[in-house]
Structure 1
Amino acid sequence: MNKTNHPYHMVTISPWPIMLSFNLMFLLISIIKLFYQYKMNLLMLCLFNMNLILFQWWRDVTRESTFQGMHTLKMMKNLKMGMIMFIISEIFFFISLFWTYFHASLSPSIEIGSLWPPKNILMLNPYDIPLLNSIILITSGIMITWSHHSLMINKNLNSILTLIQTILLGLLFTLFQIYEYLETSFTIADSIFGSIFFLTTGFHGMHVIIGTIFLIICLMRMIYKHFSKSHHFGYEAAIWYWHFVDIVWLFVYTWLYWWSF
């Protein structure tokens, strides 16, 4: 329990930040090694170490919040503000990608034939897989809201079941995105359109994968009864992140798929 005379969590000494920092440095080196020498041994080792470090770091955070009572109401307020600021930074990241897209599309340069999409770019049908993925993500947003509401009224089993459905929908979205990439007639090297398309959809897909992992961790914690209706910010943060992913996809679908078709 928190026995200090203030509501703030004074973080104890931890080996995980410095270990993760060095691991990220070696991860960058391993990626460069992969590009130039096509060797994946160091990359696999760095990815394994990164997951091991993160698991133990998150384990300590779970202990501090769930069992040691370090996350007081004041701390919860600060954590919520931190998550809001993080999501705002992510919003501006995608704004920069959309800005690039509109800068290139509203006034196409002569190098790409003054056309948008550029000549010889066969656009994907927005009413095919992209529309299906939109329905999948919107449905997942509804399911996770249902799960949150069930937790708030102490229906834990229903909350777990609807969270599982959300995770399955997230995995299904990722599988369809991979299939779409395999079927796409252009690549990231095909003019500025290919670069913007794969950069934007790729980063969104990465956020979906991260959000799915976030929800899987929350599912494990929910099964072990780490959450209550008044103390579940970890899950709430995952829900905020997932809704952010949903909303960004609506803009991606509207502008990169439907508007360019």
Structure 2
Amino acid sequence: MFRTGYHLVDISPWPFSGAMSVLGITSSLVGYFHRAPLMWVYVFGSISLFLLVFTMVRWWSDVVVESTYLGCHTSLVVRNLRVGMVLFILSEVFFFVSFFWAFFHVSIGEISMRTIGQWPPLGVKAIYPWKVPALNTAILLGSGMSVTWAHKAVSVHNKCPAGVLNPNVSSGSISPEEYNNLVEKGSCYQKQAIFSMVLTVALGAFFMCIQYEEYYMASFTIADSAFGSTFFIMTGFHGMHVFVGTVFLFICTLRLIYRHFSFNHHYFGLDAAIWYWHFVDVVWIGLFFAVYVWGY
């Protein structure tokens, strides 16, 4: 790494254990859908889920140690990580594009049949968009504002106390008053970043609770026509992305508390989490206007 600037990753068991845990969870779901013995499904699924969580915790811990304490994430590595994250989000964009395509294909096909077709189909009562869905939209937009506040606070914090680690401080080029001001500003922005990140995580959890209540109170299911299938697939996958993003931001909040993003240190992990969260916000806006407003 020191000759090339790239990080040559050590041998790790986590990709293998992660693949096996996902395979186990998928097999358990398939067995559940095909009415396999529930005891086998629950035991095998629980073991696979535990292995997945354990793998995630250990793998992410290794990455944090490599980037924060071992200095393996050089500028070249971080640049490639940023490109990889952008490509990953782009793949997620097309993932949701396929669902939007299916939704509009079915709905426009029904509408084009004039008096025969109807959207939503007869017997399916769509959810009124200007109550719970509008509240969820406001919650996600608010979380996007708070996470942007955290991003800006971390960026400013990394610039404010730069003189603290400057060797010129000891030589007298910076007065004690300026030194104290830098430390005070850094602490202030650090507290702002932590508060706004906690607020974002809370809003994400609140969104998922309201989404669950909406599913519980819905008058139709995933088996009720193409509308029910596309509705629950699109909003369900979006909810799964909200859960992943909330966990991502929670980990970054813990890292903020332990000052992993301080003093011009690498904070690509925070950048990636914020990019991902903004992507989730944009997808929800599309879902709100397409599925809830136009679909109603």
Shorter-chain TM-score bucket reads: over 0.9
Q: CA deviation at 1:197?
A: 0.3
User: Residue type of the partner of 1:235?
Assistant: L
The equivalent of 2:147 in structure 1 is 144
User: Is residue 197 of structure 2 the alignment partner of residue 195 of structure 1?
Assistant: no
Contact 2:146/2:197 (<8 A) preserved: yes
Q: TM-score, normalised by structure 1?
A: 0.95
List per-residue Cα deviations over 1:13-54 (Å, max 9, x = no partner). Answer: 111111222222222222223332333121111111110011
The equivalent of 2:26 in structure 1 is 28
**Aligned residues with identical type, % of pairs:** 43
Larger CA deviation: 213-222 vs 137-146: 213-222
User: Residue type of the partner of 1:209?
Assistant: F
Contact 2:99/2:230 (<8 A) preserved: yes
Structure 1 residue ranges without an equivalent (≥5): none
Q: CA deviation at 1:63?
A: 0.6
Alignment of 1:220-259 (within 5 A): 220-228=254-262, 230=264, 231-259=266-294
The equivalent of 1:38 in structure 2 is 38
Q: Give the superposed CA RMSD.
A: 1.4
- Aligned length, in residue pairs: 258
The equivalent of 1:93 in structure 2 is 95
The equivalent of 1:179 in structure 2 is 213
Greater C-alpha radius of gyration:
2
The equivalent of 1:77 in structure 2 is 79
Q: CA deviation at 1:193?
A: 0.5
User: Residue type of the partner of 1:69?
Assistant: G
Structure 2 residue ranges without an equivalent (≥5): 158-188
Contact 1:152/1:229 (<8 A) preserved: no
Q: TM-score, normalised by structure 2?
A: 0.84
Q: CA deviation at 1:93?
A: 0.5
Residues in 1 aligned to 2:83 and 2:263: alpha-carbon distance in whole angstroms: 20
Q: CA deviation at 1:229?
A: 5.7
Residues in 2 aligned to 1:13 and 1:251: alpha-carbon distance in whole angstroms: 42
Residues in 1 aligned to 2:229 and 2:82: alpha-carbon distance in whole angstroms: 35
Q: CA deviation at 1:220?
A: 1.1
Q: CA deviation at 1:113?
A: 4.5
Larger CA deviation: 15-24 vs 233-242: 15-24
Aligned equivalent of 2:136, options 133, 147, 166: 133
User: Residue type of the partner of 1:41?
Assistant: V
Q: CA deviation at 1:226?
A: 1.0
Contact 2:78/2:268 (<8 A) preserved: yes
The equivalent of 1:211 in structure 2 is 245
Larger CA deviation: 80-89 vs 150-159: 150-159
Contact 1:121/1:186 (<8 A) preserved: yes
Contact 1:151/1:229 (<8 A) preserved: no
What secondary structure does 1:106 align onto?
helix
Where does structure 1 differ by over 4 angstroms across 4 or more consecutive aligned residues? none
Residues in 2 aligned to 1:38 and 1:201: alpha-carbon distance in whole angstroms: 28
The equivalent of 2:12 in structure 1 is 14
Residues in 2 aligned to 1:98 and 1:120: alpha-carbon distance in whole angstroms: 22
